[in-house]
Amino acid sequence: MSLLKGRGVIIALDLDDAVSIRRLVSTTSDLDAVTGYKVGFIAALTHGLKKTVDLVRSVSDKPIIYDHQKGMTDIPDLGSWYAKILRRSGVDAAIGFPHSGRDTLVKWVEALRDEGIVPIIGGDMTHEGFLRSGGGYVCDDSPQRIYEDASALGVKHYVLPGSKIERALLYADMISKRIRDPVFLLPGIRNEKDAENIASHFLPSYRYVHIIVGRAVILSEDPASAVEKIASHMR
């Protein structure tokens, strides 16, 4: 299954106010640069996932990605429940970070596919202190193993850490050798400079690259203009 093509900006709707969510989507949805919206726990736990999805759908027909922050960190058997709930809520895709093991990765990816939801797999996060070498709890080779196992399942969409460009490029190189035309989503974009950095490293080699932007757009007085400025580096 494939959801995202080309290059562009995915807006993270990290807001708890329904009016603000609707306003942000309605003012950016018509932009060609916007390729989708990401819904996380802030909106989902405040209003319920289905109501949040319905709100976005009322003003946009662009893909909606659910980020459970961090999904796929539970037992394998719960994947079917997760996928059914997401299907009933109307999302198009779901991000998962399967740090609870390969069995969970396999079962949850299968469950999402059975419900017609596109799985998007992440392994490494954007903040420092995540991997053991940086003082975190996760083994340094864990993200690589996750991406390898996900590619063995034929997963096409991946979240890579936009703030760790060297590691992101290593992951992308490995994935692209296993998956034809993979789709990369990169969070950790704070400003135009970050977007330019990702573009200069990724666009020469990869067809499908989407940056995930939250606060850089949300906090702007003119969200549409902020999106356009960031997206100008992705063309």
Q: Residues near 92 by Cβ (< 8 Å), separated by ≥ 6?
A: 3, 36, 63, 64, 65, 117, 118
Percentage above 90 pLDDT, the chain = 91
| Section 115-138 average pLDDT | 94
Domains and CATH numbers, the chain: 7-234 (3.20.20.70)
Backbone angles phi, psi at 205, to 5 degrees: -115, -20
pLDDT for res 70: 82
Coil, strand or helix: which one is 38? strand
pLDDT of 26 over the 90 cut: yes
Please determine, for residue 69, whether its predicted confidence score (pLDDT) is greater than 90.
no
Question: What digits encode the pLDDT tens for the residues 206-232?
Answer: 999 999 999 999 999 999 999 999 999
pLDDT of residue 1: 57
CB 202 within 8 A of CB 184: yes
